[in-house]
Amino acid sequence: MATTVPSIAAERLPALLAAMPKAELHIHIEGSLEPELIFALAQRNGVAIPYASVEELRRAYAFTNLQSFLDIYYAGASVLLREQDFHDMAWAYLQRAAADNVVRAEIFFDPQTHTARGVSMETVINGLHRACQAAKAQLGVDAELILCFLRHLSEEDAFATLEQALPLRDKFIGVGLDSSELGHPPEKFARVFAQCRLHGLHLVAHAGEEGPPAYVWAALDVLKVERIDHGVQSARDGALMERLARDRIPLTVCPLSNLKLCVFPTLADHNLRALLDAGLVATVNSDDPAYFGGYMNQNFLQTFAATGLGARHAWQLAANSFEGSFAGPARKREYLDRLDAAFATIAAAA
């Protein structure tokens, strides 16, 4: 942990968490689709949805595990048809991110959810990319896209998806792996990840959200990913924890997601502190904020309130988010300088 973090009074912690610059490395853009926007897009596109009102839809957001969430999440995404829809969804997220002082966002999208409904890959990527470009110009948020393969589908389907996306290669920086984890180990996608690597794409994968430490080992050793999404189950395997710490493999932890999907019974039980204490490059992220009750700053505020983490942890988590990002070295340095400046300002104001 850095030795230069100025001391900051406990009552200033919420302001500090909100004001500090940070990167979000684990956000599914379809999971930022708020019920109000789902209804607006359903009306705009003439799509029927099986809920009478925004309130009724929100009431359905009571999840018991990952699959119970995914069923509703994929249904919600069915209102997205046109390029403008994808743009509007991403733009809404990016405005919220900017308000939370997110200065960099590496955004997942699930093209197979859309191409399976007859929406073209160009429609999806061009709409999202236009919002990312606007975010850089108008919000000062460096926004990049990461294409995720759905692991409940076949590797053959993932290869077809990659082929459709390659003409738009300059509009996304990497690939990931998401959807139903249990029963779909990383090995299933060994060949398609190897192919993506040859294309110079960054590689990440969800592993150890509900799945065992063996899935995290396989994501590292078979898929050769640079980051692990979630990864909280790694704490069950001492040798794995040592490997993650030694190789500085970032974990993109999502506390409110873990709470809502019953990975931990309460936020106070979350193992974020243990991951940091073990020297892991753990980060805080929102995952699917429209479904899990909070964007970035809510994840920070609620987790810190429940676990008693302090200002030094806040600095470490924000620094980890920049280290773990796919920004270039000069940009990372710039982000860290901004982080130190924000801490100095808050310390001086106390």
CA distance 117 to 312: 47
Contact flag: residue 66 with ligand HPA (CB under 6 A) = yes
Among the residues of 212-295, which ranges form H helices? 213-221, 238-246, 255-260, 272-277, 289-292
Among 83, 85, 100, 209, binds ligand HPA (CB under 6 A): 209
CA distance 103 to 90: 15
Shortest Å distance, C-beta 315 to ligand HPA? 26
* The entry of Zn ion, ligand HPA, none that residue 100 binds, CB within 5 to 8 Å by partner kind: none
- Cα angle 247, 251, 253; round to 5: 165
156: tokens are: 């053959």
Choice between 13 and 203, CB closer to Zn ion: 203
Q: What character string, x for contact with ligand HPA (CB under 6 A) and - otherwise, covers 243-262? A: --------------x-----
Query: Could you tell me which residues come within 8 angstroms of residue 317 by beta carbon, excluding any fewer than 6 positions away?
Result: 22, 276, 282, 283, 284, 300
Catalytic residue among 209, 210, 226, 323: 209
Query: Which residue's entry shows tokens 């479904």?
Result: 291
Among 162, 261, 287, 326, binds Zn ion (CB under 5 A): 287
Shortest Å distance, C-beta 15 to ligand HPA? 29
Among 112, 115, 179, 298, binds ligand HPA (CB under 6 A): 179
Instruction: Please say if 209 is a catalytic residue.
Output: yes
CB atoms within 10 A of CB 339: 22
Among 288, 303, 318, 332, binds ligand HPA (CB under 6 A): 288
Contact flag: residue 178 with ligand HPA (CB under 6 A) = yes
Query: Could you tell me which residues come within 8 angstroms of residue 132 by beta carbon, excluding any fewer than 6 positions away?
Result: 90, 94, 107, 143, 144, 145
Q: Kindly list the residues in this chain that would bind Zn ion in the complex (CB under 5 A).
A: 287
Which residues carry out catalysis?
Answer: 209
Contacts with ligand HPA by CB under 6 A lie at 28, 31, 66, 73, 178-179, 206, 209, 257, 287-288
